[in-house]
Structure 1
């Protein structure tokens, strides 16, 4: 009897111990699950399909003194806001309607005003110009549920072109020259690789898309590799972007950081003051417009982060587009001059420009890498300047573009 009682007590005790362990494990699992959901809610950055992060357009429209604004609404001629499924897109277009058509695409951190001086200089050469703010920059909204990759950028180009009162791509409209700067250069090369028959010329100004991975710092590669949750990445990137360019030009062959991207698209203080990006508002500068944009545009940080992650920047991500373009150009060489003209872009109408002291797009490496994918016949021009040369040497750049078009 005593033996049976002892066994029963032991059995009950063991059962209670097992139940306690089971409940403890359930409690730990429940807490872990709750913490996981909480962290996911805090760190994830998911947006519903079709969501839009709006530009500061409405706020600036209602402001009392918009003329002194860092980026006035009519900073360039021919402003219009195009309503699209991706949000509103700000477009500027002016110049003679029968002039040679030139579309300009700006860089990753600047609104399109950075190419305003070049656009004015091209109109002086009797060109018809069009510029637009990339999604999340200037006065263009940002679709946060879509990656900023070559597909989205090509779509935006067509949205801008189709909003024109004159035909840029239809039968009898002729072709247009596509000019891309920095990130815009990578966008332009990608677009040209898919739609070479639409272009009369391709001008790449310090183009992204062939930057060698070895030049990117470990911290920048880690940040934008996709390993960090979007909300945390946006917080870190936003804090860095709002700090502004903390340094001047960096030496070539140095590992590149996010801060270099911010700094190198902006001219030094002296060069910024010498700019004339807007003939209506001489006070407008790239640093002033970028500072306003970083602090006031709800979609800018997302646009920057998404472009760094998905955009046509690194060679390993974009080489296929350049090789596709190179294949088209090689085929063109076997055609007669008459056939080339009707079949689209050819090598003698592709020109690449860069700054001799650019620490992001290294002149020697750019020459080697472009020649490897597009051939040795592509025209190269260089300037005694850094990465910002399109916003400071715009008269010289416009002259070269005009010559290649004529």
Structure 2
């Protein structure tokens, strides 16, 4: 029998000891505490000379306030009589609560207690540096209702806000009253529905470059110097201002496109949370952002015990709440009162 040479033993040691040390390290290592979420500022951080204060001031609606949550401050407004039937209005992907400028006051004047708020990353709500998935948005609303001591409310959303309303109904059915309104509702969109530009701009690499200080300064310069054909449109202008001046806005939109509720909400629409609810599906025939075919798909997914009504507005595009506020307000009033015919 030949004895092992010192060289052979050294070779074995070099092969065996490193894996043992690495294994021991990974089993014994303890993770460091998670870093706190970084919070980007909202429109409230812009100087009073900013055009945003002229277009969409902090007191755009009466009865405003802020709620402090772990993921940042949330701006909200309460309209209408305190004892009125409660309804929450949720805006969509890029435009904050100004999108309800004609609908909310109308509902309040009809005796409803209306809650509006800016989603995280938009308007006067902070922009946490995190993943903008459905849970972030549904938890935001659940915390806001708890903060206001609302036991339940009717939930209405437009575009991505409709998908949030569906996810919220699925996750927190005990907080949802009799009515759910889905206006130009996203939630089932396919990747092919998104433009190549949207996909490109929402990529993490592009967002890293776009959020750098030199690029943001250049965009701000263009926004301040360029006058477009949409400059007189406050809805379009507030999007431009947010994109140029709020460091967390573009990241919030991009994450919402990649991870948010505009897609993949089939299970939410099918959930038992909709059972016993009146569901209004409101869509325009010329909606190119969320094609009207999705209104029909949502209707087929809702569980049979849900009472649903589909209202199609001829010639209307995606901005129903702005272009057809009367039709939207009337349909929502019927939803809240149950006056129209509802089929299960």
TM-score with structure 1 setting the length = 0.65
CA distance in 2, matches of 1:375, 1:296: 43
- Contact residue 66 and residue 75 of structure 2 kept, 8 A: yes
After TM superposition, give the deviation of residue 140 of structure 1 in Å. Answer: 0.8
CA distance in 2, matches of 1:66, 1:81: 22
Match of 2:175 among 194, 198, 210: 198
Match of 1:401 among 314, 332, 336: 332
C-alpha offsets along residues 165-204 of structure 1, whole Å, 9 cap, x if unaligned?
xx311xxxxx311010111111111001112232221001
Match of 1:214 among 186, 192, 202: 192
CA distance in 1, matches of 2:51, 2:200: 41
Report the equivalent of 2:286. 357
Change (3 A) 1:350 1:243: farther
- Contact residue 66 and residue 72 of structure 1 kept, 8 A: no
Report the equivalent of 1:115. 100
- Contact residue 66 and residue 74 of structure 2 kept, 8 A: yes
CA distance in 2, matches of 1:68, 1:148: 26
SS of residue matched to 1:290: helix
- Contact residue 103 and residue 325 of structure 2 kept, 8 A: yes
SS of residue matched to 2:55: coil
Match of 1:304 among 253, 259, 262: 253
Report the equivalent of 1:184. 161
- Higher deviation after alignment, 369-378 or 132-141: 369-378
Change (3 A) 1:401 1:215: same
- Contact residue 107 and residue 181 of structure 1 kept, 8 A: yes
After TM superposition, give the deviation of residue 218 of structure 1 in Å. Answer: 5.0
CA distance in 2, matches of 1:388, 1:138: 18
Are 1:373 and 2:309 matched, yes or no?
Answer: no
Which of the pair is proportionally richer in helix? 1
CA distance in 2, matches of 1:205, 1:91: 20
Are 1:81 and 2:66 matched, yes or no?
Answer: yes
- Contact residue 234 and residue 305 of structure 1 kept, 8 A: no
CA distance in 1, matches of 2:244, 2:202: 21
Structure 1, unpaired ranges of 5+:
1-46, 170-174, 245-267, 274-284, 333-344
After TM superposition, give the deviation of residue 234 of structure 1 in Å. Answer: 5.2
Report the equivalent of 2:78. 93
C-alpha offsets along residues 12-59 of structure 1, whole Å, 9 cap, x if unaligned?
xxxxxxxxxxxxxxxxxxxxxxxxxxxxxxxxxxx9432111113144
Structure 2, unpaired ranges of 5+:
1-33, 224-228, 338-344
Residues 231-270 of structure 1 mapped to structure 2, 5 A cutoff:
231-232=208-209
After TM superposition, give the deviation of residue 401 of structure 1 in Å. Answer: 1.1
- Contact residue 103 and residue 329 of structure 2 kept, 8 A: yes
Match of 2:265 among 309, 318, 322: 318
Report the equivalent of 2:36. 49
More RCO (CA 8 Å, sep 6+): 1
C-alpha offsets along residues 129-185 of structure 1, whole Å, 9 cap, x if unaligned?
0111111111111110x2111111011102222332xx311xxxxx31101011111
CA distance in 2, matches of 1:67, 1:295: 11
Residues 269-284 of structure 1 mapped to structure 2, 5 A cutoff:
none
After TM superposition, give the deviation of residue 328 of structure 1 in Å. Answer: 4.4
Change (3 A) 1:88 1:389: same
Change (3 A) 1:136 1:126: same
CA distance in 2, matches of 1:357, 1:90: 32
